[in-house]
């Protein structure tokens, strides 16, 4: 069995900085069976990054583009 660090070495991590723009994927809530599905996965954006809290946590400005 390989160690976790060796498995993660092949992954490519995206790092964004403050001031960059990013696209966001929106997933709709599941609908009951038999209902017509009008909403599909969509991408929205670009949105500006205001603050970086962690390596994968960002504060995004949804109001201004």
What does the block give as tokens for 46?
A: 């670009």
- pLDDT score, position 62: 83
Q: Does the N-terminal peptide bond of residue 46 adopt cis geometry, omega within 30 degrees of 0?
A: yes
Evaluate whether residue 19 is within a structural domain: yes
Evaluate whether residue 22 is within a structural domain: yes
Number of domains in the chain: 1
CB 21 within 8 A of CB 49: yes
| pTM beyond 0.75 | no
- The CA dihedral of 57, 60, 62, 65, to the nearest 10 degrees, is -140
Domain of residue 28 covers: 15-61
pLDDT in tens, 14-32: 888 999 998 888 777 776 6
Evaluate whether residue 54 is within a structural domain: yes
What does the block give as tokens for 64?
A: 């201004």
pLDDT in tens, 43-54: 788 999 999 998
Evaluate whether residue 9 is within a structural domain: no
Per-residue pLDDT band for 12 (boundaries 50, 70, 90) equals confident
**Cα 13 to Cα 10: distance, rounded to the nearest angstrom:** 10
DSSP H stretches of helix in the chain: 4-8
């Amino acid at each position: 069995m390989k160690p976790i660090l060796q498995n993660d070495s092949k992954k490519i991590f995206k790092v964004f900085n403050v001031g960059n723009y990013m696209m966001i994927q929106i997933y709709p809530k599941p609908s009951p069976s038999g209902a017509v599905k009008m909403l599909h996965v969509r991408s929205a954006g670009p949105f500006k990054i205001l603050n970086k809290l962690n390596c994968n946590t960002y504060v995004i400005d949804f109001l201004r583009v």
